[in-house]
Amino acid sequence: MKTLPALATVRDWLDEIEDPEIPALSITDLGIVRDVRYVDDVLEVALTPTYAGCPATQVIRDDVERTLRARGVDRLRITERLAPAWTSEWLSVRGRERLHEYGIAPPHAAAEAGLALGPIASAIVRCPRCASGETREQSRFGSTPCKALYRCDACGEPFEYFKPH
């Protein structure tokens, strides 16, 4: 009988898979790998979507399948776990550093969005290029569901902010 790869090894393999929309992040940085375990000799990987309609979800699922099969995992089941819902709190510390280096401001603490009117009160979003706090929200929606559009008044550059969610 074939020896099954250790779960720690499987996690290392998963950590090599890039997020298709923000390749600076691995899928484990993003916090969407919720569980890796064996059920008998079947490897089960539980993934959670960031946003319900994020088109990257299917691509990630395919990437996980392809990566693990290439490593010789032939008994594999990938499941979708919706609860608890993904939150940007699950981004790893390394993931936050990588976002910053990539030019995307990492998210502040995610508060319950609630029903309050007006702009979402949050800590100062620093420009990832010049570190100024003189920044403005241009749009709460950006090029992907997880990002908002900001502009730095100090250096004049637009940038993206990974939304606290």
Partner 1 sequence: MIATARDPRVEYVMRLGDNALVLAQRLCAWIAHAPVMEEDVALANVSLDLFGQARLWLGYAGELEGAGRDEDHFAFHRAASGFRNVLLVERPNGDFAATTVRGYFFDLWSYLALGELARSRDERIAAIAGKTRKETAYHLRRSEDWLIRLGDGTPESHARTQHAVNDLWRYTGEPFLRDEIDAAMLDAGVGFDPATLLDPWNERVRSAFSAATLAIPSDPWMQRGGKSGLHTEQLSYLLAEMQALPRSMPEAAW
Q: Report the interface residues with partner 1, using CB under 8 A.
A: 49, 51-55, 82-86, 113-115, 117-118, 120, 138-143, 145, 149, 165
Measured from the CB of residue 161, what is the shortest distance to partner 1 in angstroms?
A: 13
Measured from the CB of residue 122, what is the shortest distance to partner 1 in angstroms?
A: 13
What stretch of H or E contains 28? none
Residue 7's CB: how many other CB atoms inside 10 A? 12
Residues 121-143 as b/e (b if ≥16 CB within 10 A, e otherwise) read eeeebbbbeeeeeebeeeeeebe
Nearer to partner 1, 68 or 150 (CB): 150
Nearer to partner 1, 92 or 138 (CB): 138
Measured from the CB of residue 137, what is the shortest distance to partner 1 in angstroms?
A: 10
Nearer to partner 1, 35 or 41 (CB): 35
Nearer to partner 1, 113 or 131 (CB): 113
Torsion of CA 19, 24, 30, 32, to 10 degrees: 20
Query: Which residue carries 């490897």 as its tokens?
Result: 43
Q: Is the dihedral of CA 91, 97, 101, 107 positive or negative?
A: positive
Measured from the CB of residue 81, what is the shortest distance to partner 1 in angstroms?
A: 8
What stretch of H or E contains 85? none
Nearer to partner 1, 100 or 151 (CB): 151
How far is residue 6's CA from residue 93's CA, in Å, rounded to a whole number?
24
Measured from the CB of residue 3, what is the shortest distance to partner 1 in angstroms?
A: 35
